Structure 1
Amino acid sequence: MFACLTTFALLAAACFLPSEAEFLYDVACHEDSNELRCPEGEVIRLEDVNYGPPTPAICGARDQRVGHYSSGCLNHLTAVIYSVICNDWEYCRLPSEPISVNTCDENHFQEVVYSCHKLSESFKTVTTCVGDTAKLTCDKGHIWIDKSNYGRQDTNTCTEEPENVTWCIKDVNSRLDELCGGKSECEVSLNEGDFYPVPEECGPPPYYLRVRYTCKL
């Protein structure tokens, strides 16, 4: 079923693929993590993931295209999982170690190909630390939740000490829609246990809530 869904998603996305000149590349080697970043007002769309043995030339040119590299250790679910983590956000940091669906050994490069797409100016993004209150407001219309998650996607938000685990998220759209959807304003007090359980790989807090919404008339 996953293969069918993936094939359908790729066919649908083909209608909207940018030209190759608009692709961005991030190559991570050894214990580095891939970091995908779009300019303000634009969001990520993951296009492809490649693996292979590292060389000084590949590892020394992080933003340069490696090109197609056939590696039997890459599971087709890798790109699907990375898309869930990164798509539609401005910034994303991926794990430095192969995720569980891969059989790649630790000594490899990981090339992520992605593109950036403009986000409508009507969308607002709110990031709230545990212990604070998320405030969503609409001067006109009502709140419509576009995308939200709880966990951690970067090293520095809501923490004084940089965090290593940054690919840990839990989709909380349905919960936010239940709390705020259809209202003109909404406050969500974020206590530590509000959106538990978080995935096992998250490790200990601190976590934060990130919500993107728009105001529908």
Structure 2
Amino acid sequence: MQQGRLSFIFLLVLLCQCGVQAVDLTTCEGDTARLNCGLTSEVIACESDTANLQCDQGHIKVLSANYGRTNSATCSSGKPANQISNIQCTQDSSLSVLTSRCDGKQNCYISASNSVFGDPCVGTYKYLDVSYICKPPSVIIQTQTSCEGSTFSINCYKQLIKVLSANYGRTNNDTCSTGKPANQISNVQCTQSSTLNVLTTQCDGKPACSISTSNTVFGDPCVGTYKYLKVSYICHPYNFIKVSAANYGRTNRITCSTGRPADQLSNVQCLQSSTLSVLTTQCDGKQDCSIPANSTVFGNPCVGTYKYLDVSYTCGPASLT
């Protein structure tokens, strides 16, 4: 239960677009702490639990969702093998359910259950996996289209790009159709599923991005069709990590205690004074930072005690210099 709670807290690290947001993150010994000032948040709720999408500032915009199972590890504790073996369980309507109920709200609670989403795989213990952003009123979702053979460019100037959706192909007869014969624009079911991954890899986190609208970059999802690239994105402020407090050790008997014997939890005066300097050196000024919570990195302040890394940090905007 403790581990699930900590994972949930971590996954709800939300970025404040117009100021500084404080984040507290606790990571058990042997796990990896990830400090993140990125835009996208993820929530995973096990079947029969309730998912909470929350935006302290701005409004929810759901990017992707699935109620089902795509791996054997998530929400597997105490479940028999036959209930977690089907990892091809997806429910296509999950996204539409989430967007209709949650988009535009600051808070959204939704039950991860068959009664809400239907049952895509009877007998499998499922979970709801949701990715979303908190979109402030001042952030405008922009859409650009680039015809095949041209160059697609985004410029956010003194802000950063976050691509929300993208497709290289053709979904209507009108876009990029001037002078093209009917047989090159008639296929309007042409989509390339890898387009978003290409764009996020090339453009996310940069102030500007240019990419060739071509089969060379995206592959050819429909040979003989004249295609175009359509991208939706936002420009958001620079946000960087600033660690304010940190300790690798143990100051209570509850945190990261599941399955641990009493003698590994009894020392609650376990402090490592160098923890803060390690974190500030490795993480300050970055947008993302991953660091193992182990004695190799921080030293061992209390041999025999099962420790955890407790970090407080802020995500704050800064302008380009």
Is the shorter-chain TM-score for this pair beyond 0.5, marking a shared fold? no
- TM-score tier after normalising by the smaller chain length: 0.3 to 0.5
TM-score, length-normalised on structure 2?
0.31
Which has the higher Rg, Structure 1 or Structure 2?
A: 2
TM-score, length-normalised on structure 1?
0.45
